[in-house]
Structure 1
């Protein structure tokens, strides 16, 4: 076959791909269905041309189409890593983690249930061995819910629901292919009935080996790309190599799951890439993979569909009954998950409530596609699989795919319509009419100003104004006649709009480089939580999400434990620096939302709603300022370094804008512009590096700031710095409880604690100490101490504290003053006598 002919065929396939998308939109059918139908028609047409004598002129073209090197290896080693890797890069992982329980259950449990359901149904109704039946079950268990996700997005379904289905679609491919590799190995070894223990014993190795391989490969790739910070093309090239090398190493060298390796590599790059790569390089990387995945997804579908006529050549009448068994078993397995397990998870509060119409749509939208055909093709190509099993696997998998694409895919939109998912709720309908009326009023005012500015003809203005006025009157009349919106619903809709505008502001700030890509991902996640919280629980959900955005999470607490117990300060330092920058970004964004409330929300929802939203926004700003002030007290000066960095980045952005404007106005040439931008890029790269927060090395500086230690000489201070341990506590943490034996004294370097004893409470702040009373009085603690602000404590053991007490008159006086403040009489003989000078 000549290279010219092959190139012509491939280029023609790209033309087909280009025409398929607008055709799918016009016919209102899923894009994958159109690609599959076109692929089947091309494959069947090429076969027909070769077997008929109508014309011989097109035989070379038909031979080129049927002779394309379409093997399972092409799908599994070329196209599949591309699709999986891009899907992980496009995910909002921080939001996915909120729903990891339902995602894993749907992705893993649903695949296992479908595999067992189809496998045992075939085993009971056919003469195939059990392992072959389970192999077929694994092949048909992976779904392609992209059509459902796109339809949900078009009807403004909850983002959380769409996100769960996206996560399921990514991970169920991995689980199904891992099961496929497991049972394929048994088939090739001739094991008819593998034990459950054998299967479960190998499955963890496939998962763990692939995950570790992908993680290591991604870490190495990110480290290498960070070295090439000024060479964007080099970074893009490394990203292209990453998924394929991870897949090949896992599959060929380790014997683990290559799919899991690619998913792990993509997830690792998604989490670490925005913080290590320049924003422009990260944006270019995402765009590159979007294009590659679009082509790969279309090619894998159309090339797999070309094989369908070949796979169905030996179909028999009895095979149709087995296809029916597969269809019933697969749909029943998915129904068990959707109508049995999902409601149970909702009752247990580990999964969002999925309304029944949505579950029906997900059930009918469980389309199978290219991955199923690729796995079936891998079976038919293996000479180690018996011919009888090859034929049945190819026919059953292909028949099931055709059923889902032709029957379910073509009727999916009608099902959506019958379920009423394509219609707005009464509240949204009333709101849309009101929005139209407000928008048209604004447009009429702007048009009036435009006619005056451009001195248009009065006759034209009068005719157009009359026509526009009729439309505005109709919109106002519809808005007045529509269902009244309750104030509670208006508040909910206003909060959703406010959070949506907050999200748009974040994206604009990211484009303007006012917010780093790393922080943008986190504050975007916060905005998404605000939207979903308002959508599901109104004002209380919005406020809960707002509190969560500034709260100390479990990861932060775990980092604090690592620092306090093991002395590992790096995770805590990194997370504290992230928190600094995140709070600064939130403060920057929130200050711009007041104008949106006064301008847009007030016109649509009225004054009362606007005032309430302004009050809620004010509380959020106050919460962020309080949290930021707590960090400033804990680490003086670091916030100033971040603010100076922000000012430098803003100045560079304005400088770039000036150079671009001069270039467009012809004031400078291309050579000068290129030189200026290269210099600007170098300075921007240096400015992108965030100042390091080293909490481990601040102990000596903190000690020197204590008035209690003012009378100690430098040598004693140095020894004291080595003896003391630093402990970080978050608001609400109990430092020690009642009736516990005390062996340490705590000095408050920053923050505040609350001490409760005998029904009385005292608050201690920076520069004060606690825990010494029980040591001096030789009694168990009768007080509970709890942090009420982010606090840094210096901890000194009993022996060193008593020695220090002998040296420092300031500490002796502080001990006596503290005892007097709490109403405790501390006899002088309990205090160690001061050493003579």
Structure 2
């Protein structure tokens, strides 16, 4: 085939891609549907000109179009990794974990159920063997990421709905392709009745193997990117290679799922890349991938659509009945999962509730596209598949894909509208009216000043002012009509706006490089949770989400367990350092929000709501300060190191801005500006390295803070420091249980502990001890001890405690005082007697 002609055709397809975007906007149809229609028109036109006798001039072009090297491997190995990888870079993995159960149900269970439903329905309605029917079921069971994600983003669907659909489309390809490979092997071997045990046995290897390969490949790629962090094009080039190497490595090396490998690689880069790469390079990398995915998604639809006329050439009247059977079985299987299984999981508290309108939208949004056509094409390309099976696979897969695109795709926007998912809630509408009225008042004042500054003619100003005043009056009237909002709703609206302002402030601080990209993602996730919690639960939901953001999660508890039991301190040190930086960033961000309340919310919702939000914000600030103070007590000096780092990074940002202004004013040349920017980039790279936190070296400093040990000499303090063991406990952890053996004494370095005995409770804080009385009295413990906040404890065994008690008069006095506090008569014993007991 002439390379010039092929190049011309490919270039012309890019012109079609360019025309499809404005055409989709004008017709109010999904972009992917327009691309599919244009692709089919091109394919039909090529066949027409090749077979017509009207003219032969266009025959070479038609032959070139129909002869394009479009094979199934082109879709699976060239286009699919690009689309999947770009979607993983654009999602928020932490937010997606909130809906991981419905995502996995749709991505795995729904695929298996759809495969079985379509397979057995076809086996009943046709003469095909069961294995061929199950092969068709596997082909049509996967939703296409480029079709689904693009459509849901284009119609501004709710975030949670888009998140579930994106998660499903990312993962269901792996399950469908695994089933496809299994049944394809059975068809080629001529096995009429397959064993489902073989299919299920392969799933763990496919998924786990793909995840490991993707994670390992991404970690190597991130390491290379970090080495080349100063060279933007090199970093982007490594990112382009990553999904293809992960896909091919998983598929060809261990026979695992290439799709899962690409998803794992993309999520790993999404989570670790922002912390290892400069923010500007990371932003540009994301933009490059957006462009690559746009081209790949458009080309995959056009090229796949070119195949549709060819696949439908041998269609017969009876085939339409089978297409209807496939459609009915696939839709019914998806409905059973959405309206049968998922509500049951929600009732059993195994899954978050997915509202009914969301489930209807997910049902109708299960579009098929290029992936289904690519799998069907792989069957038609095989010489070992019977001819009739190849014909029906091509026709049924193509017919079902056309139904989802031309029927479901074109009506999806209407369905979303009928469900009310594209409309503002009454609260949001009321807020919109209030905001418009306030904003227009500000705009009117600004327009008046502009007209005065430019000395415009009075007639022009008067006519435009009249028009603007009419619009302002309508806005004020609309706002007053909705002014019957209850105070509770006004507070909810104010909290939503406050959480949104917090999110904007985080983004601004990230752009200014005041906070790292990795931690900004974590803080952004918490801000998103605040918005959703305020929207669903009002003030109570907002406060609950704010408290949750300060709690220690399961990962931190596991890190504490590793440190306490196995002396593996690195995970705890990393998470503690992250917590330090997050709390410092939150403290700065929350202080900025007071101005937003006074400048915006007070004007829209009034003084009462503004004062209440100030009060809630003050409580959050106090909680952050308390949590930060607890860490300061545990690790003195580390917060100051982070604050110095923040100041140095701020100074670099201001220095960079100053040089930019000097360059714009022409006071320095381009060469000098480039040199200065390189110097700043080098220094900024050094500042990106966060000070290391060693959780083990703080013990000596903690020991010196105890008044109990003030009378010990330096040698005794060193011996005591070596003897003490550091133990970290989280809020709610049980430290001592009633009737447990008395073998250790605990000193509270930071935090608080509650003791309970005989219906009475005591609370101990920093500098106090517990557990000593049971040792001295040589009796089983009658006291239970529970941490009521995250605490650092210093633990001493019984033998060393008795030795220490002999040398320290301060400790002896503390024992006497604690005995009195617990109602033990001190005249009933003497300290020396207890020591020698």
TM-based fold match above 0.5: yes
Superimposed CA distance per residue, residues 620-654 of structure 1 (whole angstroms, 9 cap, x where no aligned partner) = 11211111111111111111111111101000000
Hey, what's the Cα distance between the residues in 2 that align with 1:488 and 1:817?
A: 51
Q: Is contact 1:530–1:546 with CA below 8 Å preserved after alignment?
A: yes
- Asked if residue 250 in structure 1 is aligned to residue 250 in structure 2, the reply is yes
Deviations 1:688-746 (A, max 9, x none): 11111110232233334444445555555444444332111122322112221121111
2:32/2:151 contact within 8 Å kept: no
User: Are 2:830 and 1:828 equivalent residues in the alignment?
Assistant: yes
Q: Which residue does the alignment assign to 1:765?
A: 765
In structure 1, the residue matched to 2:210 is: 210
Alignment partner, residue 330 of structure 1:
330
Q: How many matched pairs? A: 835
Query: Where does residue 630 of structure 1 map in the other structure?
Result: 630
Matched, 1:476 2:496: no
Compute the displacement of 1:787 (Å): 2.0
What corresponds to 2:664 in structure 1?
A: 664
CA distance in 1, matches of 2:416, 2:430: 22
Identify if the C-alpha distance between structure 1 residues 181 and 831 changes in structure 2 by more than 3 Å, giving closer, same or farther: farther
Query: Shift in Å at residue 817 of structure 1?
Result: 3.4
Are 1:411 and 2:408 an aligned pair? no
In structure 2, what is the Cα distance between the partners aligned to 1:158 and 1:346? 20
1:184 counterpart residue number = 184
1:776-791 to structure 2, matched below 5 A, reads 776-791=776-791
1:754/1:763 contact within 8 Å kept: yes
Report what 2:55 is aligned to: 55
Superposed CA RMSD in Å reads 2.1
The alpha-carbon deviation at position 807 of structure 1 amounts to 4.0
Q: Is the 8 A contact 1:630 1:789 kept in 2?
A: no
What's the offset of the Cα at 1:662?
0.7
After superposition, the C-alpha distances for 1:367-401 in whole angstroms (9 at most, x for unaligned) are 11111111111111122322222211111101100
The alignment partner of 1:796 has SS state of: strand
Matches within 5 A, 1:434-445: 434-445=434-445
Cα distance in 1, alignment partners of residues 800 and 816 from structure 2: 19
Query: Which residue in the other structure is 2:29 paired with?
Result: 29
CA distance 1:441–1:63, shift in 2 (3 Å): same
Query: SS of the residue aligned with 1:577?
Result: helix
Is the CA contact (8 Å cut-off) linking 2:314 and 2:391 kept in structure 1? Answer: yes
- For 2:310, the equivalent position in structure 1 comes to 310
Distance 1:479 1:145 in 2: 41
What's the secondary structure of 2:441's corresponding residue? helix
TM superposition shift of 1:461: 1.6
Q: Say whether 1:166 aligns with 2:183.
A: no
Which residue in the other structure is 2:293 paired with? 293
Specify the alignment match of 2:70 in structure 1. 70
Partner of 1:342: 342
Structure 1 residue 368 corresponds to structure 2 residue 336: no
Q: Tell which deviates more after alignment, 370-379 or 758-767.
A: 758-767
1:131 and 1:637 map into 2 onto residues whose CA distance is 68
Q: What displacement does 1:148 show?
A: 6.5
> Does the 8 Å CA contact 1:776/1:831 hold for their aligned counterparts?
no
* Equivalent-residue separation in structure 1 for 2:832 and 2:99 (angstroms): 57
Contact 1:807 1:834 in 2 (8 A): no
Task: Give the TM-score normalised by structure 1.
Answer: 0.96
Identify the range of structure 1 (270-279 vs 539-548) with the bigger mean alpha-carbon deviation.
270-279
Aligned pair in 2 of structure 1 residues 10, 154: CA closer, same or farther (>3 Å)? closer
Note the alpha carbon deviations across 1:307-343, whole angstroms, 9 max, x for none: 1111111212221111111000001011112222232
SS in 2 for 1:793: strand
Structure 1 SS opposite 2:795: strand
Relative distance call for 1:161 and 1:540 in structure 2 (3 A) is farther
The corresponding residue for 2:379 is: 379
Instruction: Classify the secondary structure of the residue corresponding to 1:666.
Output: coil
Aligned to 1:307, the other structure's residue is in SS state helix
8 A Cα contact 1:740 1:781, kept in partner:
yes
Question: C-alpha displacement at 1:802, in angstroms?
Answer: 2.5
Residue 556 of structure 1: aligned partner: 556
Shift of residue 150, structure 1, vs aligned partner: 6.2
Q: Deviations over 1:247-266 (max 9, x none)?
A: 11111111111111111111
Give the aligned partner of residue 83 of structure 2.
Answer: 83
Q: Distance in 2 between matches of 1:420 and 1:286?
A: 32
Partners of 1:587 and 1:621 within 8 A in 2: yes
Given that residues 161 and 354 in structure 1 are in contact (C-alpha distance below 8 angstroms), is that contact kept between their aligned partners in structure 2?
Answer: no
Cα-to-partner distance string for 1:784-830 (whole Å, 9 max, x where unaligned) = 22223322111122223223333444433432333234332352266
Distance 1:498 1:33 in 2: 39
Residue 46 of structure 1, CA deviation: 1.1
* 1:381–1:626 CA distance, 2 compared to 1 (3 A): same
Aligned residue number for residue 589 of structure 1: 589
- Is the 1:114–1:334 Cα contact (8 Å) retained in structure 2? yes
Instruction: Report the Cα offset of residue 671 of structure 1.
Output: 0.7
Tell me, which stretches of 5 or more residues in structure 1 are unaligned?
none
Q: Give the corresponding residue for 1:460.
A: 460
Write the distance in 2 (CA, Å) between the matches of 1:531 and 1:436: 21
Secondary structure at the counterpart of residue 192 of structure 2: coil
Q: Residues 514-663 of structure 1 correspond to what in structure 2 (within 5 A)?
A: 514-663=514-663
| Partners of 1:173 and 1:364 in 2: CA distance | 18
**Residues 144 and 281 of structure 1: CA distance in aligned 2, closer, same or farther (over 3 Å):** same
Is the Cα contact below 8 Å between 1:159 and 1:532 reproduced in 2? no
Contact 1:217 1:242 in 2 (8 A): yes
Partner of 2:94: 94
Gaps of 5+ in 2: none
Segment of structure 1 superposing worse, 211-220 or 383-392:
383-392
Conservation of the 8 A alpha-carbon contact between 1:145 and 1:366 = no
